[in-house]
Structure 1
Amino acid sequence: MWNVILLGLVSFFSDISAEMVYPIIPLYLTSVFGATPALVGVIEGIAESLASLLKVFSGYVTDKYHNKKPVAFIGYATGLIYKVALIFANSWVGILGARAIDRIGKGIRTAPRDVMVSESADKEQMGKAFGIHKALDMAGSSIGIFISFLLLKNAGENFAYKKLFAISTIPAFLGLIMFFFIKEKNEHSAVLRRKPFWQNIKQLDRKLKLYIMVAFLFTLGNSSNTFLLLRAKSVGFDDTSVILLYFIFNLTASILSIPLGKLSDKIGRKKLLVSGYFVFSSVYLGFAFASSQSVIVIVFVLYGIYTAMITGVERAFIAEISPEELKGTMLGMHSTVVGIALLPASVIAGLLWNGFGASVPFLFGSGMSLLAALILLFFM
């Protein structure tokens, strides 16, 4: 498990850097550049979808050349370039370009990193391994968000966004240093000659194909987290309080990721996945009808519980039912399908918000999550 911990520490430092910036972006776009919720949705959707195709490609390269560590390193190094790009961005177009750089890096690193996590654990402890990684990942997110909150609270209206972007490069650099201590499992040095995965799609596990389809449907209703932050602001939270809410969400997910990962090892992945989608449906209903700040706090906690139930567990599920020679490709394929769905998801959410009010995109997301849960419950 030491390798899993090291990979988790890479994500820990990288996420401190990323989350110092992420919750600030919608506030930066709306307060400095006058962006509307619809424009925020377009920016986030384009950034996510541009990276989505790289996820399956990096997974395929990982499977073919067995070079997981250098590919993942490149992906994490891109996060450092992202912060520099934010410093020099002077319009919403510049922010879009920076976000695209960041998401491209995530697209490159996700599959090889997840393969290394799966190869560093026994099958009986797969859920625990991904839970450890996710716990460290979310702990880094929590710290990054809290730093952002403290800086924003102390600075008030005179908050220096670009100063925060510059500070965020430090933990990003520390995350890259951790790579020197990671040992890559590399049993085969020769390049494999095999058919591309799409030529053998019929041989894939039926459960795997069904889950990837369900993930696409679910993601159509799971818009960018920026809409959760904007929704909290619409109920009366100020900018600093919104950041604190996002901290609560990440902290909850960090605390529960390991125990819920272990639970999936004992009771099976399906029960956690179905329950997680039901929880998400409830969360979005809460966001839709919330009229008080206390309700918003509760649904952010529930959102953290959902994240702990789903994120690590679904990766463990995909890793254990994928063919060994296609593990990276299928982990990348899942991320690609989710990434493709994020563009219409964020655009739809922004248009629904602008056209029909803040509650409607969350009602749509709740319905899509309920549909995903029912499909998994009765057909997987």
Structure 2
Amino acid sequence: MADNKESNEVESFQPQKLPASAYLVGALTQFALGLHSPFLQTYLVDMQNALYGVKNFAELGAFRSVGNVAPTLLQPFWGATSDKIGHRKAFVAFGTALGLFVVFLFLWAATPVDMIVLYAIQSILFSIQIPTWLSLIGGLMDEENRGDELGKLGLATNFAALAATMISGFIAGMPALIPILRNAFGSLGPLIFPSVEAWREAYYIPFYLTAIVGIMASILALGIKEKKQPNNNRKGFPPIHRLLSQPGDFRRFSFVAVFFSFAMSMAWPYFIVVQRDWLNSTILEIAIASAVMTLSIVIFTIPFGRLSDRVGRKPLILLGRGLLFLVPLLYAFALNVYMIYVANILAGFCVASSMNAITAYIYDISPEDERGSHLAVYNTFTGIVYLFGSLLAGIFGQLILIAIGSEYLSVFIMLIVSGCLRFVASFFYLLIREPREYSSTLWFELRRVRPSRRHDTDLV
């Protein structure tokens, strides 16, 4: 009897892990995102070339801005509502289905302004999914192994996104595929595959598949067994002002993120110009650049997730943010597509180090029944900063273009400015505080993996 009791106690302390259904839904959702996300700015650049023959950096900045801020404007509402009602998987399913279906409508955007408006609508709809999904999976795992579980989930979802991106890149190189599919379906072909302009056909199947896979993911999300919250723990909508005005780790972290988020987003409108215009990259080469970044994330996500559980979140955040300044500098001096691949591999390393650590850090410092709200408020706060960073960078780049008449110098200057500001802003993360002590340090872990020097070897 004593042995059985002891065995039951041991079993009761087994760490809670994410179910297989969460991995499947997360992988399908990221597969859908991987089909289209890496090519949206390319699509807008091709649209500008088809309509104007020149670049409009203000439009590129505005496009990137709505992609940053639109998904976050309503996140506090969705996060708080899901915390209060408790049916998070319903929010996940609804946001996934609607947000990804609208991607197919991008094919009929007549002008860049139309595309910006549609992108804003799509981003707002998909914002329903973002905080509710993070809150849903946050309730399905324990704090002790949260970094490890997020790392495993990140591995599965990033691998799915990588596969989808490569599939889209290969499909883009087969423009004759659309007429073949129309003919294969006979009289239904024009209804199933409506006609578009020739330059858009490279994006047709990726956008089409995005909608289909999104619907599949939303249906499967309803099958996740959700952890129920006690009624007496459900709280009302926490306003942004309340969470950001209360002294504590969350407010400190949010304000620290302002400086780096602004500097980081300044470079985003210009990366695609370097690839598509400076280097004349094909869609397949753009897909490879995105894929190597995703592969880098996949390789480092689980090790960094486990490492953050041992050494804390702060060292990993500092590592990832501290090296990101090199990425825009590599783009600014890129002579060929291989330098872009190197920059994206480095970017993937930095993302793997910092992003899961940031999510885990917010989980650690927020109450269990308000995690969705805290994540949503943080995403909204940084999303607004991203809005101004990308928008102002686009406007400044356009003003430089008007003043000096050189598209190359406009892009080069903005990339250098972003790199310098990223470097300075990364030091602000030294101000954040860990909510608890950890069993090891980053320096100790690095010394453990470093091969020890034999004492009987000669020193050179």
TM, length-normalised to structure 2: 0.76
C-alpha deviation, 1:260, in angstroms: 1.0
**Aligned residue among 31, 35, 43 for 1:16:** 31
3-state DSSP of counterpart to 1:221: helix
C-alpha separation in 2, matches of 1:209 and 1:331:
12
C-alpha deviation, 1:198, in angstroms: 5.3
**Aligned residue among 288, 293, 299 for 1:255:** 299
Q: 1:316 to 1:193 in 2, by over 3 A?
A: closer
C-alpha deviation, 1:290, in angstroms: 2.8
Q: Could you tell me whether the CA contact under 8 Å between 1:50 and 1:104 is conserved in 2?
A: yes
Alignment partner of 1:97 is 2:123: no
One-letter amino acid of the structure 2 residue matched with residue 20 of structure 1: L
Instruction: Report what 1:120 is aligned to.
Output: 140
Q: Could you tell me whether the CA contact under 8 Å between 2:154 and 2:298 is conserved in 1?
A: yes
Map 1:9-158; keep pairs closer than 5 Å: 9-34=24-49, 36-155=56-175
3-state DSSP of counterpart to 1:358: helix
Q: Could you tell me whether the CA contact under 8 Å between 1:215 and 1:337 is conserved in 2?
A: no
Instruction: Report what 1:298 is aligned to.
Output: 342
C-alpha separation in 1, matches of 2:349 and 2:323:
8
Q: Could you tell me whether the CA contact under 8 Å between 2:64 and 2:268 is conserved in 1?
A: no
Q: Could you tell me whether the CA contact under 8 Å between 1:127 and 1:262 is conserved in 2?
A: yes
One-letter amino acid of the structure 1 residue matched with residue 256 of structure 2: V
C-alpha separation in 2, matches of 1:345 and 1:205:
26
C-alpha deviation, 1:197, in angstroms: 5.1
Instruction: Report what 1:307 is aligned to.
Output: 351
Deviations 1:151-186 (A, max 9, x none): 122339866133432233222222123213311111
C-alpha separation in 2, matches of 1:378 and 1:167:
44
Q: 1:235 to 1:117 in 2, by over 3 A?
A: same
3-state DSSP of counterpart to 2:227: coil
Higher gyration radius (CA)? 2
Deviations 1:85-132 (A, max 9, x none): 223333223322331133113321111211222221111111112222
C-alpha separation in 2, matches of 1:108 and 1:195:
15
Q: Which runs of 5+ in 1 are unaligned?
A: none
Instruction: Report what 2:332 is aligned to.
Output: 288
One-letter amino acid of the structure 1 residue matched with residue 282 of structure 2: D
Instruction: Report what 1:316 is aligned to.
Output: 360
Greater mean deviation of Cα atoms: 40-49 or 273-282: 40-49
**Aligned residue among 377, 399, 418 for 1:333:** 377
- Bigger relative contact order, structure 1 or 2 (CA pairs below 8 A, ≥6 apart): 1
Alignment partner of 1:268 is 2:312: yes
Greater mean deviation of Cα atoms: 317-326 or 186-195: 186-195
C-alpha deviation, 1:13, in angstroms: 1.4
Greater mean deviation of Cα atoms: 80-89 or 149-158: 149-158
Q: Could you tell me whether the CA contact under 8 Å between 2:80 and 2:236 is conserved in 1?
A: no
C-alpha deviation, 1:77, in angstroms: 1.4
Q: Which runs of 5+ in 2 are unaligned?
A: 1-15, 50-54, 177-197, 401-408, 434-460
Q: Could you tell me whether the CA contact under 8 Å between 1:318 and 1:331 is conserved in 2?
A: yes
One-letter amino acid of the structure 2 residue matched with residue 239 of structure 1: T
Greater mean deviation of Cα atoms: 22-31 or 1-10: 1-10
3-state DSSP of counterpart to 1:121: coil
**Aligned residue among 230, 234, 258 for 2:273:** 230
Deviations 1:255-293 (A, max 9, x none): 221221111111110000011111111222222333343
Q: 1:62 to 1:200 in 2, by over 3 A?
A: same
**Aligned residue among 201, 206, 214 for 1:164:** 206
C-alpha separation in 1, matches of 2:330 and 2:239:
40
Instruction: Report what 1:351 is aligned to.
Output: 395
C-alpha separation in 1, matches of 2:76 and 2:158:
24
C-alpha deviation, 1:226, in angstroms: 5.3
TM, length-normalised to structure 1: 0.90
C-alpha RMSD over aligned residues: 2.6
